[in-house]
Chain A
Amino acid sequence: MSRDGTQQAPEYLNSLRADLTAAHEAGDLWRAMQTARELLQQDPGPRIFRLLRKFAESWPTSDSRLVPLNVALLSSFSIEFTQDALAAFAFASGLGIKLYQPGYGQFRQEILNPASGLYRFAPDVVILALEGEDWCPKAYANFVSTPETDRASTVTEIGISLRSLLAAFRKGCAASVLVHNLAQPEFPGMGTIDWSSDFSQRSLIGRLNEAVAEACREAPSVYAVDYAGLVNRFGSRVWYDRRMSLFARAPISSQALAPLAREWVKYLRGIRGMNKKCLVLDLDNTLWGGVIGEDGLAGIRLGPNYPGNAFVDFQRAVLDLRLRGTIIAVASKNNPQDVDEAFGKHESMVLRREHFSAWQVHWNPKPESLREIASTLNIGLDHIVFADDNPAECDLVRLALPMVTVIRLPSEPERYVEALLDDGWFDALALSSEDSRRADLYRQRDQAESIKTEYGSVEEYLRDLQMDIVVAPVNTGSLARAAQLTQKTNQFNATTQRYSEADMLARLSDPSWLAATFTVKDRFGDNGIVGLVMAQLRAESMYIDTFLLSCRVIGRSVETAMLAWLCDRAVELGADALVGAIIPTAKNAPVRGVFLSHGFKKLTEDDSAASSWRLELRGGTVRRPDWFRVECRAVQSGSKP
């Protein structure tokens, strides 16, 4: 079972392994890291950890893009089982680590003896992983039997002992040090009375942690790891394996290995300054539920009730990141006006337009938007994290821009926050006033730069999608879907004619009418019926009554293929011209240029701005782009469903 709750077929894992091998052969580090992240997402277990550790160790050390880091693990317990997971997660973040680990419980000797293996190893980072049980028994197993005065003195003692260890270490080594704070015991010794007593065990451990944090703050390059918070996030009973603790002095359960390694790697990235700078967000079904262009301001889910409250929570988490210095940006396929309205008017919107430092709202492919954002903000693409709910968009970005870190949001919005924060991509080790201002600086830059578009790569993107189109007459099997499309499609809909199934049937029983559905498949799967054309042959002209595309395929030139097909049919039926109409609505901006851009001439425009357009077929027809494969099922004009 993967972390996002989906059961993945072994074939998928096997294909990821194959990707890993291919990345190795090609020396493609970005691809290898990305595949490692996906493997760790899908199957965070000992086998994958071992696989990735071996893989990471086999990566050429001459590759300077893989940041080398010597990590020493000092602990009061048996900790070697965490090594594979640590190496695996580190590699997925671009860190090639070498590990050193003396026997457990030898942390004092290793630090105090200048000739120890620790110093010979020349660590860049030392992780001091101490369990409270071992470090300070008076606050744990012996708490109840320890007199109150002695309990209080443990707080002073732990501060002194940690300071002297750190001072001794600093004499021999400049490495950064990560010091675990202390987790709470599963049961306080005094049971339910604990918090009622003057000096409770829980509060004592809290004070010990204050002392640890203070000693760390005083010393340069020493950081307290919130181990207590980590255990708390998962729960003692899941975190610890009592059996292994007693049998092998290995108290950390196998389920805890991944979260522990992930937590350490947050700090390791921070030490090397590898924390991400910019979060790029999708909008529909990411910052709110639903599709703004279809559901409208009142229809999107954002507010006090489920699922709207889950999206509010997610926006709050994003705002927190923004306030601590993460740049946030938008890459969304939408009408700019719809999005402006949502940010301007929705009363439950937590994020404001001015929080975003870059803004890509249009129908161009997302990899282009990300490139644009990186260049506007003048940051590397490898500093960008992209979050989207749509697996196809995520895969597309992964493929086109392997250096970008992609968060595929899970299907349940209540799990968005954990998906955003679990890996701590933006976590830093210190917060400067520069950090919190940084996003504002970038925001100003955004306003100064004009928005450019790279049309050159659109075609590449469309080819890469490997789209197949199936054109078929509206029939009994597709009538319901065709009618539904006329009812629900608002954006790419030239005339917004709404049909019930019965109305549509009535049209189709007239032999002068033709109606066809367009099914689009791409390398990510089958999008189903996403396009509909209805037209009528009158005199020598083919009149387009309905021309629509579902929003999920806007921006993929499917409309060109639809018009090309219609031209061919019109010529076959002896028509001289195609005639189309644009009836503007509040939502259909994306469709308004469709006839103009395909060589139609404007005939008329009335007071309501409705226009009609004509294409002379003898002057040349619309050509189908060669990146589509089109299969036509028989379409007769007037074919009866």
Chain B
Amino acid sequence: MSNSLEETIKGIMADIFGMEPSAIGDASSRETLEQWDSANHISLVFALETEFSLSFEVEEIESMLTFRDVVETVQAKV
């Protein structure tokens, strides 16, 4: 289950950042990925909210700095 959730999130991030899902992993963070800028971060939030029918608080949005953070934040809410 959590694996498929990770895959879904990878797919969403890849789509927004314009890269292959396989290129996204635990090493991916806002520091390492040039495409993960603040505008794309908001797009990511919208996409995750739509996909998983949830709503993030601002603190959660700010705390998602790495791929792992995103997975854990989503996991805690679904």
Contacts and interface: CB of A to CB of B under 8 A. Distances in A.
B24 interface: no
Given A46-B47, A46-B50, A254-B46, A243 B58 contact: yes
Contacts of A254: 46, 49-50
A47 interface: yes
Summarize A's interface: helix, strand, loop or mixed. helix
B16 interface: yes
B43 interface: yes
A250 interface: yes
Nearest to B11: A47
28 contacts: A45-B50, A46-B43, A46-B46, A46-B47, A46-B50, A47-B12, A47-B15, A47-B47, A47-B51, A50-B15, A50-B16, A80-B39, A81-B42, A81-B43, A81-B46, A243-B57, A243-B58, A243-B61, A244-B42, A246-B58, A247-B58, A247-B61, A247-B62, A248-B38, A248-B42, A250-B42, A254-B46, A254-B49
A248 B45 CA distance: 12
A78 interface: yes
Contacts of A50: 15-16
Contacts of A250: 42
Contacts of B50: 45-47, 254
A78 B46 CA distance: 14
Contacts of B42: 78, 81, 244, 248, 250
Interface of B: 12, 15-16, 38-39, 42-43, 45-47, 49-51, 57-58, 61-62
Nearest to B38: A248
A546 to B, nearest CB: 54
Contacts of A248: 38, 42
Contacts of A246: 58
Q: How large is the interface on A (under 10, 10 to 19, 20 to 34, 35 or more residues)?
A: 10 to 19
Nearest to A43: B50
Contacts of A78: 39, 42
- The B interface is mostly helix, strand or loop, or mixed, namely helix
B39 A81 contact: yes
Contacts of A244: 42, 45
B48 to A, nearest CB: 10
A244 B58 CA distance: 8
Interface string A237-269: 000000110111010001000000000000000
A422 B67 CA distance: 38
B39 to A, nearest CB: 5
Interface string A212-250: 000000000000000000000000000000011011101
Interface string A272-316: 000000000000000000000000000000000000000000000
Interface string A31-74: 00000000000000111001000000000000000000000000
Contacts of B51: 47
Contacts of B58: 243, 246-247
A602 B42 CA distance: 77
Contacts of B16: 50
Contacts of A81: 39, 42-43, 46
A247 B12 CA distance: 22
A80 to B, nearest CB: 5
Contacts of B47: 46-47
Nearest to B49: A254
Contacts of B12: 47
B18 to A, nearest CB: 9
A254 B46 CA distance: 6
Nearest to B62: A247
B20 to A, nearest CB: 14
Interchain residue pairs A-B with the least CB separation, the first 5: A254-B46, A45-B50, A46-B47, A247-B58, A80-B39
Interface string A67-97: 0000000000010110000000000000000
A239 to B, nearest CB: 14
A14 to B, nearest CB: 14
B26 to A, nearest CB: 24
Nearest to B44: A46
A81 B41 CA distance: 11
Which among B15, B45, B51, B61 has the greatest number of chain A C-beta atoms within 10 A? B45
A600 to B, nearest CB: 62
A478 to B, nearest CB: 44
A128 to B, nearest CB: 20
Nearest to A255: B50
Nearest to A248: B42
A243 B42 CA distance: 11
A47 B43 CA distance: 10
Nearest to B50: A45
Contacts of B57: 243
